[in-house]
């Protein structure tokens, strides 16, 4: 399929960072203005999954890979019902997308969904800036008449920070739904949607799990009404320090000793339920090439990440928590950030990264099998 990019390629655009740094380029996708936290992602592929991951709500994503859009946009790889990033920053958009599954260009999809982007800027310089100074608030402005820089900087500085942002209720489903088991049904799981990606229930379903996806505001009664063999807490946007409701719900699940698995935001919620703190990373981990060590086996896996916050738990000792002993099960080999937690006295664990791997390598798929083993163990 071939679609050429739209006329917007000639419209001027500017990316403005809260510290006053300005990058000038051309409009990409919708023309207009947008605000969010500027973050970079190192994935060389998988932009469709990235853009539709609800964890990216209110973030302006910078692609470090210079060429973006080469495989267009298809009808299969969305991780949710829409694009969630607030803006997209690329160096060199594909002029002619080409892939057997492509239905339209990325550019056309951004326009159709009203997502403002910018192209033609030095994304390497921008990434180095964000790495040195940290992720920060930003705005993208495009059109023939862009306001003076000082005014734009002021408007960016008036935006809310990511630290302290409570966003998971905004992106989560309002109504419960069921993802049926593929093949013979072996287990029932209640999955708390804090911004869940479509691949996550699928990874459970293909292991014989019937997944009841419940809204972020589900009560303990709602969870146990589905008679779950296990409870799952999903990924999600915003600052985990604001997620008091999910922390209280998880605490109730831990009190009942129901097998529990959490991913990303879910890992941060387990950290909080155990009494650890969370903190904001300088520039976070985003991409599909992050090395993580599973300290329970010693194996290293290459994994998909998207997190700007992390759990503050000791790496070198077993912690005593109100749910017994807990330890850091996984660690990022780039920077020693906590990438997983496990309880030693009851069936509960979580990882900070994305074993559903959409997009990304499948090294971490064993974690879904670990969840199944916990549920089997509880039955035995």
Ligand X SMILES: NC(=O)CC[C@H](N)C(=O)O
Q: Point out the annotated binding site for L-glutamine.
A: 55, 236, 238, 265, 268, 306, 308-309
Closest to 82 in 3D by CA, of 40, 43, 115, 104: 115
Q: Do β-strands 136-142 and 92-93 pair in parallel, antiparallel, or remain unpaired?
A: unpaired
Region near ligand X per CB under 6 A, out of 91-99, 209-217, 306-314, 368-376: 306-314
Task: Quote the distance between the C-alpha of residue 217 and its chain's center.
Answer: 19
User: What does the angle CA 316 – CA 317 – CA 318 come to, to the nearest 5 degrees?
Assistant: 145
Region near ligand X per CB under 6 A, out of 27-35, 209-217, 231-239, 287-295: 231-239
308 sits near ligand X (criterion: CB under 6 A): yes
Q: Which residues pair with 13 in a beta bridge?
A: 25, 142
Residue in the structure block whose two tokens are 């209110």: 58
Region near ligand X per CB under 6 A, out of 13-21, 28-36, 234-242, 244-252: 234-242
- Report the residue number, 47 or 265, with the smaller CB distance to ligand X: 265
Distance CA 25, CA 91 (A): 9
In sequence order, the 6+-apart residues with CB closer than 8 A to the CB of 367 are 261, 349, 351, 355
- Report the residue number, 71 or 267, with the smaller CB distance to ligand X: 267
Q: 356 catalytic, yes or no? A: yes
Closest to 266 in 3D by CA, of 203, 325, 190, 321: 190
Burial class (CB in 10 A: 0-12, 13-18, 19+), 76: exposed
Cβ of residue 173: shortest distance to ligand X, in angstroms? 16
Region near ligand X per CB under 6 A, out of 242-250, 305-313, 321-329, 369-377: 305-313
Cβ of residue 83: shortest distance to ligand X, in angstroms? 16
Ranges within 254-273 binding ligand X (CB under 6 A): 264-265
Cβ of residue 277: shortest distance to ligand X, in angstroms? 13
Tokens describing residue 309: 């916050």
Cβ of residue 235: shortest distance to ligand X, in angstroms? 3
Binding site per annotation, positions: 55, 236, 238, 265, 268, 306, 308-309
Selected from 306, 329, 342, 346, the binder of ligand X by CB under 6 A is 306
- DSSP state for residue 115 in the 8-state scheme: -
238 sits near ligand X (criterion: CB under 6 A): yes
- Report the residue number, 267 or 293, with the smaller CB distance to ligand X: 267
Cβ of residue 62: shortest distance to ligand X, in angstroms? 15
User: What does the angle CA 266 – CA 271 – CA 274 come to, to the nearest 5 degrees?
Assistant: 125
Ranges within 4-63 binding ligand X (CB under 6 A): 55
Among the residues of the chain, which ranges form H helices?
47-51, 106-112, 123-133, 149-157, 168-171, 199-205, 220-225, 244-255, 265-273, 366-379
Selected from 84, 88, 309, 323, the binder of ligand X by CB under 6 A is 309
Distance CA 135, CA 167 (A): 18
Task: Quote the distance between the C-alpha of residue 328 and its chain's center.
Answer: 21
- Report the residue number, 265 or 371, with the smaller CB distance to ligand X: 265
Q: How many CA atoms lie within 13 A of 58 on its CB side?
A: 21
Selected from 5, 105, 235, 290, the binder of ligand X by CB under 6 A is 235
Distance CA 332, CA 219 (A): 33
Catalytic, out of 129, 169, 264, 332: 264
Number of residues that bind ligand X (CB under 6 A): 12
Region near ligand X per CB under 6 A, out of 109-117, 144-152, 300-308, 339-347: 300-308
Contacts to ligand X by CB under 6 A: 55, 235-238, 240, 264-265, 306-309
Active site residues: 264, 354, 356
């Amino acid at each position: 399929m071939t679609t050429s990019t739209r006329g917007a390629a000639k419209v001027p655009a500017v990316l403005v960072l809260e510290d006053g740094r300005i990058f000038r380029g051309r409009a990409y996708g919708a023309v207009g203005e947008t605000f969010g936290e500027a973050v970079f992602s190192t994935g060389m592929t998988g932009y469709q999954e990235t853009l539709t991951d609800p964890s990216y709500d209110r973030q302006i994503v910078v692609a470090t890979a210079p060429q973006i859009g080469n495989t267009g946009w298809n009808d299969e790889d969305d991780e949710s019902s829409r694009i969630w990033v607030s803006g997209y920053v690329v160096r060199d958009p594909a002029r002619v997308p080409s892939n057997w599954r492509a239905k339209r260009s990325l550019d056309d999809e951004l326009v159709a969904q009203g997502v403002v982007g910018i192209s033609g800027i030095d994304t390497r310089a921008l990434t180095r800036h964000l790495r040195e100074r940290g992720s920060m608030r930003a705005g993208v402005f495009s059109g023939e008449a862009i306001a003076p820089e000082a005014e734009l900087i002021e408007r960016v500085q008036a935006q809310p920070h990511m630290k302290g942002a409570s966003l998971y209720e905004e992106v989560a489903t309002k109504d419960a739904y069921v993802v049926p088991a593929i093949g013979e049904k072996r287990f029932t799981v209640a999955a708390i949607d804090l911004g869940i990606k479509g691949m996550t229930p699928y990874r459970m379903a293909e292991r014989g799990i019937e997944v009841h996806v419940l809204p972020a505001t589900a009560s303990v009664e709602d969870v146990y009404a589905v008679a779950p063999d296990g409870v799952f807490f999903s990924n999600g946007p915003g600052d985990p320090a604001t997620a008091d409701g999910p922390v209280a719900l998880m605490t109730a699940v831990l009190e009942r000793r129901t097998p529990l698995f959490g991913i990303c935001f879910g890992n941060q919620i387990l950290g909080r339920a155990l009494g650890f703190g969370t903190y904001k990373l300088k520039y976070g981990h985003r991409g599909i090439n992050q090395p993580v060590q599973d300290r329970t086996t010693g194996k290293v896996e290459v994994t998909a990440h998207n997190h700007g916050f992390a759990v503050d738990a000791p790496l070198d000792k077993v912690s005593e928590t109100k749910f017994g002993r807990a330890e850091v099960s996984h660690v990022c080999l780039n920077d020693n950030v906590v990438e997983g937690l496990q309880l030693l006295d009851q069936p509960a664990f979580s990882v900070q990264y994305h074993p559903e791997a959409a997009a990304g390598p499948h090294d971490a798929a064993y974690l879904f099998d670990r969840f199944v083993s916990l549920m089997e163990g509880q039955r035995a």
